[in-house]
Structure 1
Amino acid sequence: MNLKINWDAFGISASIACAIHCALLPLVFTSLPLFGVDIIENIAFEYGMIILALIVGIYALYHGYKKHHHNILPIALFIFGIGCLFAKQAWHEWQYYFLVPALLLVVLAHYINYRFCRVHDHAHKEDCDH
């Protein structure tokens, strides 16, 4: 069995999960502290999610860059997006001003990487996974 993971799709899914977490979790789970569960505004959880997105994103984007398209644009967009996520944590009162651009940049980076990987010149087919 040859299992291949589409890391860009995984990165986009993780970004969407992050958006759902950031937008809906506070609305849905506002009663969790009553039960002793506190994942809302949990700094360790927030940084853990950002670091997970960073690891998955860098792996996916670097693979696309190295093996397929050799274009730095997706990595640059992703780095700016992750930077906005860290800024969201550092300047909490401005979090919603950083959140939207962060998510847009991260998803856009994965989308552009996905598109670049699909249209690049296959002069090096032996290195490509698809």
Structure 2
Amino acid sequence: MSPQRLQWLDRLGAAGSLLCAIHCALLPLAIALLPSLGVAVLAGDGFEQGFVAFASLFALLVLGWSYRRHRALRALALLAPGLALLWWAVLYPPLHASTWPHALVMTTGGTLVGLAHWANLRLNHAQADCRACARGAC
């Protein structure tokens, strides 16, 4: 996969993860409004689990592919606890049933996943710079 495509995917992943964090932070306030707006599906368990599954698969594929290029664990070190928090908040019933603790854990997890994508983007950029310098392009 080309470095430009990896950078685009990391930017997409970071934006999606940060949107997830915003969604999780605002969800307790929006729960009362969503049914009246006709978009209650965004507060449903199925949507949340599907989004976490998609974000997990996407992040693991992109960061795993990038790791093969830069061999640095920094991005994966942010991703692992972020995904663990997201899955814990979605699958652990007592936490999932409580509004504010659930929102806090989901927001923290989404932020960590977004930061993992950002770190991966920086690592890929540094790797591309190193290769350009090795070719004498700097």
The TM-score bracket by the shorter chain reads 0.7 to 0.9
Q: Which position in structure 2 is the counterpart of 1:88?
A: 89
Residues 81-129 of structure 1, C-alpha deviation per residue, up to 9 Å, x if partnerless? 0110111122222313412321231121111111111112329x9xxxx
Q: Which is helix-richer, 1 or 2?
A: 2
Q: Does 2:131 match 1:122?
A: yes
Percent identity between matched residues is 31
Between the two proteins, the alignment pairs up a number of residues equal to: 121
- State whether residues 26 and 40 of structure 1, in contact with CA within 8 Å, keep that contact through their aligned partners in structure 2: no
Q: 1:87, 1:29 → 2: CA distance?
A: 21
Question: Per the alignment, in what secondary structure is the counterpart of residue 30 of structure 1?
Answer: coil
CA root-mean-square deviation: 2.6
Q: Could you tell me which runs of 5 or more consecutive residues in structure 1 were left unpaired when the two chains were aligned.
A: 126-130
What's the CA shift for 1:28?
4.4
- State whether residues 82 and 110 of structure 2, in contact with CA within 8 Å, keep that contact through their aligned partners in structure 1: yes
Q: Does 2:45 match 1:32?
A: no
Q: Structure 2 vs 1, CA of residues 21 and 61 (structure 1 numbering), >3 Å: closer, same or farther?
A: same
Within-5 A mapping of 1:67-82: 67=69, 69-82=70-83
Q: Tell which deviates more after alignment, 49-58 or 13-22.
A: 13-22
Residues 55-86 of structure 1, C-alpha deviation per residue, up to 9 Å, x if partnerless? 2111221121112x111221231121011011
Q: Which position in structure 2 is the counterpart of 1:46?
A: 48
Q: 2:48, 2:17 → 1: CA distance?
A: 13
Of structures 1 and 2, the one with the larger relative CO (CA 8 A, separation 6+) is 2
Q: Which position in structure 1 is the counterpart of 2:110?
A: 103
Q: Tell which deviates more after alignment, 71-80 or 8-17.
A: 71-80
Q: Could you tell me which runs of 5 or more consecutive residues in structure 2 were left unpaired when the two chains were aligned.
A: none
Q: Tell which deviates more after alignment, 13-22 or 49-58.
A: 13-22
Q: 1:46, 1:84 → 2: CA distance?
A: 13
Residues 14-49 of structure 1, C-alpha deviation per residue, up to 9 Å, x if partnerless? 112212322335534633324765325411110001
Q: What is the TM-score when the length of structure 2 is the normalising length?
A: 0.72
